[in-house]
Amino acid sequence: MAKSHIQFSCQQCGATYKNWTGRCNQCGAWNSLIQQFDDSSRDEKSAVGRSQMSGKPLDFVSIRDLEVSEDKNRLKTGFSDLDGVLGGGILPGSVMLLAGQPGIGKSTLLMQVCAHIADNCKVLYVSGEESAGQVKLRAIRLGAESDNLKFASSTSANDIAKTIEEEGFDLVVVDSIQTLTIAEIASAPGGISQVTNCGNLIIRAAKSSSTAVIIVGHVTKEGTLAGPKVLEHLVDVVMNFEGDRYGGFKIIRAVKNRFGSTSEAAIFEMNQQGLAEVENPSAALLAERQNTDGSIILATLEGTRPILVEIQALVTPTNFGYPKRTASGFDLNRLNLLIAVIERRTKLKLNDKDVFVNVVGGLKLQDSAADLAICLAIASAVAGRKLSEDFVVFGEVGLGGEIRSAFRPDQRISEAKKLGFSHAIAPTTVKDKFVIPVKDLRTTLIEYVNE
């Protein structure tokens, strides 16, 4: 038998190297290479041959005869918006991955979900990060004490998988995948091999026993899910928990969902009783608004849910040779692009001014229809003029300065009408008496915010 050779594997992308290097050439991550043993020197050809000889024909049936799990069997989480993100609730046998930055409320949310489901079902909460005492204190604070809610502290994926297979739980929460290890693998917890194989082991156990499993995942400094990309492919649902952990709204989005749409979003806020759904986020976001220059109300969408949010812009003369651009809740590259469009297609000059843009409430906009509101806010701040407080704005801005159509304009207009706004500045493609149609950026700025 050939000897095992030492190799180094990147924890971020899985690339392998014969020698250690400080930086991975594939993904660019620093200090991500860990030492592993490579058994690839064995005769791969003979291994493939043995595998081919040991295989057997599959048992197959007509697709008409396949059984489908009905939606009525889904477990309700106790949060209607979260059920919508999941496609109607938690489906038995599904494996969900919940990722979010530290302290945002992942464990709090899952404890509340477990407490609600434990009223009628058997639930297990497995923690590899916290002690039993810590979990107990959280359960007392959230009122999550139930005989059907069980707790276990373990970092062994072997033991967790065996428990899922044999104990008949309806829901199992694993917090978190980065703390788990398989006894047969010698690498440290959180490595590529451990995360991949632990995930595989738990998923197989969940599918074989029709047990729903929620796995908590860590994120990197950039906000992406830590670990190999293959983990996201293995699970059925991938959810991102976003927002400011110190305040503001927190949003759960599904970036992958085999059982429903990925366009839904659940909005929460933290209080003493845990996380609570926000029934009317638009009213909450606008409650403290002061109509000043640089303040624009945007009609945006979080998934398919319309929300009115305040966009604030501040423009000041720069004290340095290179003007500063800062965005909170909005993509900085997109902001730079819009500033370039404003300078090229209108008479405003921003090359000697610092531009700061803020989305109130801690929201992170991913809506292209926010372009027009951002441009109007910047122009309003430069001119020192206020837009009428009865106006809402939405529309995409092209590189030629044209105002393009927005997704689901009817829902945006309906939300604005509910909150008492009288008009919407929107693209000409929207046919509604409520809308003041605009065709290009230059005309819009001259008409509404220019000096």
Q: How far apart are CA 211 and CA 214, in angstroms?
A: 10
Q: What is the model's pLDDT at position 44? A: 47
Tell me the per-residue pLDDT of 94-127, one tens digit each, with 9 for 90 and over.
Answer: 999 999 988 899 999 999 999 999 999 999 999 9
Q: What is the model's pLDDT at position 319? A: 87
Q: Provide the 10 A C-beta neighbour count for residue 189.
A: 18
Mean pLDDT of 18-31: 84
Q: What is the model's pLDDT at position 271? A: 87
Q: Report percent pLDDT > 70 for the chain.
A: 93
Asked if pLDDT for residue 16 goes beyond 70, the answer is: yes
Asked if pLDDT for residue 298 goes beyond 80, the answer is: yes
DSSP 23: B
Tell me the per-residue pLDDT of 27-53, one tens digit each, with 9 for 90 and over.
Answer: 888 888 887 765 544 444 555 566 556
Mean pLDDT of 143-168: 92
Query: Which carries the bigger pLDDT value, residue 226 or residue 268?
Result: 268
Q: What is the model's pLDDT at position 69? A: 60
Q: How far apart are CA 40 and CA 399, in angstroms?
A: 52
Q: What is the model's pLDDT at position 72? A: 62
Asked if pLDDT for residue 184 goes beyond 80, the answer is: yes
Query: Which burial class, exposed, middle or buried, applies to 273 when counting CB atoms under 10 A from its CB (0-12, 13-18, 19+)?
Result: exposed
Please report where in the chains the tokens 């409650």 appear, as a residue: 287
Asked if pLDDT for residue 405 goes beyond 80, the answer is: yes
Q: How far apart are CA 377 and CA 386, in angstroms?
A: 9
The pLDDT mean for the chain works out to 88
Q: What is the model's pLDDT at position 50? A: 60
Q: Is 141 helix (H, G, I), strand (E, B) or coil?
A: helix
Q: List the helix and strand counts (H, then E) for the chain.
A: 12, 21
Among 184-188, 258-262, 428-432, whose mean pLDDT is lowest?
184-188
Asked if pLDDT for residue 1 goes beyond 50, the answer is: no
Q: For residue 421, what pLDDT band results from cuts at 50, 70 and 90?
A: very high
Asked if pLDDT for residue 402 goes beyond 90, the answer is: yes
Among 255-259, 284-288, 392-396, whose mean pLDDT is lowest?
284-288
Asked if pLDDT for residue 451 goes beyond 50, the answer is: no
Residue type, 43: D
Please report where in the chains the tokens 């991550």 appear, as a residue: 29
Tell me the per-residue pLDDT of 308-329, one tens digit each, with 9 for 90 and over.
Answer: 999 999 999 998 888 999 999 9
Asked if pLDDT for residue 450 goes beyond 70, the answer is: no
Residue type, 161: A
Q: For residue 3, what pLDDT band results from cuts at 50, 70 and 90?
A: low
- Strand segments, DSSP code E, in 28-170 are 33-38, 95-100, 123-127, 149-153
Among 58-67, 208-217, 295-304, whose mean pLDDT is lowest?
58-67
Question: Long-range contacts: 107-110, Cβ < 8 Å, 24+?
Answer: 107/138, 107/175, 107/216, 108/138, 108/142, 108/270, 108/274, 108/275, 109/241, 109/268, 109/274, 109/275, 110/173, 110/175, 110/214, 110/216
Written as six digits, the tokens of 24 are 């991975």
